[in-house]
Structure 1
């Protein structure tokens, strides 16, 4: 059975072709991550927290190597709170489209509610590596920095997270 997985993985990695990070193509995917918060809020007694983070997204390449889109964040952790956020993002790939491994930078600003209907905002920046398994599918490893704010309860937190995700790059029909 392990031999079958190895053959499939070898086929995916050995497929050649340029990545679809060019103008007028779509980007669909997401990531899952784990993060640890360093809180500086008296409301929650300054306790630190941890959570899982799921983040699907959809984007469109407005220029070669530059995508704009929307992402949804679902965050659940040890504070018994669930947060849902939605907002725009920009993503830029640094290397040429022919590269099998590419570096990217993404920034987003999301806003939404938690379980107790408290308003949140989140500024996020991430840097990562996209490893193209073929011309359309990329495995991504990223380091994320998040700044969460809630003015109504005087809450803010900073977090660093490691995330793994997949992106599917869809070529526009000609």
Structure 2
């Protein structure tokens, strides 16, 4: 009894997770860390670097085109220690077929940070980048990305540019509506 049940579970999991970038599918993951520097134009000048954790989830509205949102959590080391946070909706476009898929991504949202000296209000953030997703299994991709972010104070008194190199992963999950085993489809 245990063997047939295990086989059924594995078969069901393969139908649910045997997807990549098709319409109706989901992706969940994010960057495990990114190394970024900051170049400030105007005041204040916050030089330094951060190491961030950015969980994200997206939905494929079209083949190779996903929309979603990510959360940014970044301890920042510079003149003083601070902690950045934010939320950014994104659009991501994959190109090509096969195990290796290049992608381009754009996002915009609000961020803020907390520091020992002062807490800044939310500020606007925009990000563009491109990268490469390598599918190590049909549903797990390792990713690397090069991007640049622009941050502006709430009163537009300064702009900070942040180039970043990011490494992460994504789980690509097939929609449950599309994941029906063939026997269930034939029986309908």
The TM-score normalised by the length of structure 2 is 0.76
**Residues 1-174 of structure 1: pairs in structure 2 closer than 5 A:** 19-31=19-31, 32-44=33-45, 48-78=47-77, 79-96=80-97, 99-115=98-114, 116-152=119-155, 154-174=157-177
1:123 deviation in Å? 0.4
Instruction: Give me the CA root mean square deviation.
Output: 1.8
Structure of higher CA gyration radius: 2
Structure 1's unaligned 5+ residue stretches are 1-17
2:10 match: none
1:117 deviation in Å? 4.3
1:62 deviation in Å? 0.3
1:167 deviation in Å? 0.3
Q: For 2:102 and 2:168, locate their aligned partners in 1 and report how far apart those are by CA, in whole Å.
A: 14
1:8 match: none
Q: For 1:58 and 1:35, locate their aligned partners in 2 and report how far apart those are by CA, in whole Å.
A: 22
Q: For 1:85 and 1:102, locate their aligned partners in 2 and report how far apart those are by CA, in whole Å.
A: 28
Farther-moved stretch of structure 1 (158-167 vs 74-83): 74-83
Structure 2's unaligned 5+ residue stretches are 1-17, 178-188
Contact 1:59/1:68 (<8 A) preserved: yes
1:142 deviation in Å? 0.6
1:19 deviation in Å? 4.8
The TM-score normalised by the length of structure 1 is 0.82
The total of aligned residue pairs comes to 154
2:7 match: none
